[in-house]
Structure formats: C-alpha cells, structure tokens
Structure 1
Amino acid sequence: MRIAALDDQRPGATGARRLVAKVPEITALFWIIKILTTGMGETFSDFLVSHVNPGLALGGAAIALAVALIAQFRSDRYRLWIYWSAVVMVAIFGTMIADVLDFVVGLPYLVTTVGLSIVLAVILVWWYARERTLSVHSITTPRRERFYWTMVMTTFALGTVAGDLTANRLHLGYLGSIVLFAIAIAVPAAAYRWAGLGTVTAFWSAYIITRPLGASITDWLSSSRQDGLGLGTGWISLGATIAIVALLGLLGMRGADPTAEVRPSEEADG
C-alpha cells in the first residue's frame, strides 16, 4: 500500500527552494515497519510489566523515550535509525500509558477510546489552525515536529485501547479484531486510489489504524487468553524486533528510504 503526500510534484513549483522534512518517504515498507513497531511495542510493554516492577518499567520507558525524542529533535534531517528508535519508544511508552488508564486508573475501554479520540481531534484542529497543513511532508520546523510527535503518541495510546475494546468488550477476540482493522485500513487506501480521497486524510486515517491492527496481531500470537496462540510476549517481541532491525538494515544498505522534501510554496497543501 502506498499513501504518500507527494507535495513536491505539483506543477508550477519549479525553482522553489526545497526544505528537508524530518520524516521518511511514505512507501509500502514504511507501513510494514510501522505495523511491526506497533505490535512490538504492545508485546514488549506487556513483557516488561510482567517481568519487571511496573513503576520501574514505566520510568525506564519514559527515560528511553525522552532520550530518543531529544535525538530526533536535535537531528538536522530525517535519520533512519534515530527516527525509528523514537517510533519504537513511543510504541512501548504509549502502550504503558494506555494500560495505566485502563488497569490503574480504572477507566473503561469505551471511555478511554472516546476520550483519546477527542484529544486526537483537538490536536489535528490545533495543528491545522496554527500551520494550515497536516502534511507529514511539511515537518520542517520544531513546532510542526512537536505537533507531529504529539499526534503520533496519541495514536499509539488510542490504538492500544481501541484494540482492547474490540477484543475484550465487543468480544471479537484478537483474530476478529485483526480482520476488523485490516478491513478498516484498506478503506482509506482504496478511497485514495479510486475515490479521490486526499493524501493527508488518507495518510492519517491509515496511520491511526496501524496501531490497533499491529497490536491485535501480536496479541493474537502472544496471548494465551481468548483465541490467542499463546506463543509468549517475549518471543513475539524478539521476533518483531529482529524483523524491524532487518528491514531497517536493508533500507540503510540500499539507501532506499529517502527523506521527504517539500517546497515553501506547497506547505499549505493540507
């Protein structure tokens, strides 16, 4: 699947100065790695909480996330390993935050899902009101990058509780949730290809759904509850990590994961 905001190919932009965005080009491999990171974040978070003191695990994840984001913000452009390290840490920490809301605070899945959906909508409205674009290919300033990573963190937390909602409260189970979210993620892809859905809307719609899809897949593989295969959170986390590192290594060797570029004249193309 390729949902890309190819803003720099619009006519009439020849000769304009190019700005380098701090996100990767949106290709099929982007979506594969994104789903793998979401799934790994889900199972590795569960593994840590069950094998380490939960408070210590949350604190360690928060520190690792802060280090990863500082490195990302200090980078002058998209750097493959820095960017994806930040995504992985957001996946792990986002899962922990969602679990805190569910199991510690005691908020019902439906309440948490609706609440985080509202937060997500507020972020999108605020981002667009300040920047007049939501294109990931316009992440060229510190403020836009802050909006972007706040959005990413919220989608990870939302996806965690949404997956738990469908599997546990709606009684779809993990396999049923996989089918549901696989169909859901195909909708913006099909609408983009055949119905003229805008690139930005298609991207964020698919991006949000990758989280519950990836989490449902790894929960199904690792969990012994419901219809899970019971392979264990440790083994599934390890397998997902190996796959992520292998794909990133392949991209690094091939130089096949280019940085998105935009021109100032096109930043308003939301």
Structure 2
Amino acid sequence: MTITSTSVRPAALALSKVPEVTVYFWIIKILATTVGETAADYVNMTLGFGLKSTTVATLGLLVVALAVQIGVRRYIPIVYWVTVLLVSVAGTLVTDNLTDRYGVPLTTSTTVFAVLLVAVFGVWYATDRTLSIHSIHTRRRECFYWAAILVTFALGTAAGDLISEKYALGYPLSLALFAGVIGVVAVGRYVLRLNAVVAFWAAYIVTRPLGASLGDLLTAPKADGGLDLGTNNVTWVFVAVTAILVGYLTVSKVDRIDA
C-alpha cells in the first residue's frame, strides 16, 4: 500500500529519511522480520553465544546503526534497512529475554508492548499532530518513528509467539492467520477507504508476527511442524535476497519520496 499526504511541503519531502511505501517496502520488511527471528536463534543457539551476549552485541550494533541513520541528511536504502534489520533482531531478543530469562508470560509482555505502543503513538500525535511517515523530516519525528518501530517488533514477536506456541495453532496456521489479517487491512484500505496512516501501521505491526511465523516454519524441526531448513541457511538466503533488493532500490531510487 502506498501512503500519500497532502499536508507536507515539497521542501520537507526532499528531506525525508524514510522510503516510500511500495511493494518493495513490504517484501523487504517481511524478509527483515523473518531474519530477525532466524538470526537471533542462529547466533544465540546455533553459534552458542547465549541469549545475554547476543542481546548485548545486537543492542550495541543497533545503537551505532541508529546513530548513523539519524545522522544522515536523507534516505539511504542500505543505512535504513540495516537499521530495520537490527531493530528486528533486537525486538526478538527483547521478548526472548523477558520470556526465557525472566519468566514473563507472553500474555503479559504482549499487553505491555501494546500499551507502550499506544503511548508512543499518543505522545507522537500529541506533539506533532501526525503519524504519517511522510512527515519524518525532523530529528524529533524520526526518534518517535524508530521508537514506534522498535515497539512494533517487540509486540509482534510476543503476539506471534503467544498465538503460535501458547495457543498451539502451529506455524502454518499462524502464518495463514497473520496473512489473512494483512489481507483484511488491505481490503479496509482499498475497498472501505480506511485511513492510510492507520492501515500502514496496522499492516506494519502484523508483518512482524507474519515474518516470525515464516521463520519458525522454515527452521523448526519437522517433529514440531517445521521444515527444518536450518537457521543458518534461511538467514543467509534471506539476507542475500534483501541485499539484492536494497541494491536495486539504491540504483533505481524508485522508493525515494522526493522522486
């Protein structure tokens, strides 16, 4: 879905720090969310770094990526999508730490992240009177934007795990469920004329558990209902596809808002 805004000045659009919402945006977003799930498991368990060390290293890389992203003056595909990828991994690890290290129930973490997301959106809207991504041309709005994205990833991870594991729907059914929800959002947007900003953020939130369910389906043992393709294989294949798409966007500039 493509979001338009008539309230943003052309000069402001030229300074946009985020991409236009095209089909490439959603494909890379789903790839990144899947990698967020598989990469966290790969580094944590397959490579044996452990949950604590993996979390510390990921958060350190994320701080660096965010500093670079906020420091640049325009949208740069590789900088933006590397940041999203690290946010995806960090969001997964935040939920995993709460669940595995501190024993926080998934119902509790899902509820807390949902409330936190509402709070972020509430403060953002109260401050700037908009939640449109086409308004991301000031440092304050960019901070709100990335805070919202981080919480959506943590919320999506918790909600996805809650539905697929706690309620034992299984990975294929969970994947179909989240895909169906995104379909409902698309129908709401294009048929029922649902507000574009509302539709965008609804779809953005749901693509996180969609990607997580896809990652679990591809990597989980066959005995658990997965395809057992291995976290290593899935992670690197998805990273390679993401790199190809980001390279294309860098050259073509088709997702530049000011294009």
The reply to whether TM is greater than 0.5 is: yes
1:152 alignment partner in structure 2: 149
Task: Look up the match of 1:31.
Answer: 26
Equivalents in 1 of 2:91, 2:258: separation in Å?
26
Contact 1:137–1:260 under 8 Å retained in 2:
no
Match of 1:193 among 158, 182, 190: 190
Rounded Cα–Cα distance in structure 2 between residues aligned with 1:260 and 1:73:
18
Matches of 2:258 and 2:25 in 1, distance apart?
12
Corresponding residue for residue 69 of structure 2: 72
Counterparts of 1:26 and 1:57, CA distance in 2: 31
SS, match of residue 259 in structure 1? coil
**Once the 2 structures are TM-superposed, how far is the Cα of residue 231 of structure 1 from its aligned partner?**
1.1
* Residue 204 of structure 2: aligned partner: 207
For 2:231, the equivalent position in structure 1 comes to: 233
User: How far does residue 57 in structure 1 lie from its aligned partner after superposition?
Assistant: 1.4
Q: What is the letter of the counterpart of residue 257 of structure 2?
A: T
CA contact (8 A) 2:76 2:250 kept: no
CA distance in 2, matches of 1:176, 1:189: 20
**Mapping of residues 1-270 of structure 1, within 5 Å:** 2=1, 4-8=2-6, 17-19=10-12, 20-50=15-45, 51=47, 52-224=49-221, 226-259=224-257
Letter in 2 for 1:48: V
Q: Is the 8 A contact 2:16 2:257 kept in 1?
A: yes
TM-score (norm 2): 0.94
Stretches of structure 1 lacking an aligned partner (at least 5 in a row):
262-270
Do 1:80 and 1:248's aligned partners in 2 also have CA atoms closer than 8 Å?
A: yes
| Residue range with higher mean Cα deviation, 131-140 or 248-257 | 248-257
Change (3 A) 1:66 1:192: same
Runs of 4+ in structure 1 deviating by more than 3 angstroms, as ranges, are: none
CA contact (8 A) 2:69 2:80 kept: yes
Equivalences, count: 254
1:174 Cα deviation from its structure 2 partner: 0.7
Q: Which amino acid aligns with 2:207?
A: T
Q: Secondary structure at the match of 2:16?
A: strand
Aligned to 1:265: none
Structure 1 pair 106–71 and aligned structure 2 pair: CA distance change class (3 A): same
Q: Distance in 2 between matches of 1:213 and 1:105?
A: 25
Q: Which amino acid counterpart does residue 26 of structure 1 have in structure 2? A: V
What amino acid sits opposite 1:69 in the alignment?
L
Deviation at 1:253, TM superposition (A): 2.4
Task: Say if 1:211 and 1:17 are closer, same or farther in 2 by CA, change over 3 A.
Answer: closer
Structure 1 residues 123 and 260 mapped into 2: Cα distance closer, same or farther (>3 Å)? farther
Q: Is the 8 A contact 1:22 1:260 kept in 2?
A: no
For residues 199 and 33 of structure 1, what CA distance do their matches in structure 2 show? 20
Q: Residue deviations 1:13-52, cap 9 Å, x none?
A: 8xx5521211100001100000000000110001111121
Identity, in percent, stands at 39
Q: Secondary structure at the match of 1:22?
A: coil
C-alpha displacement of 1:226: 2.2
State the 1:251 CA deviation. Answer: 1.6
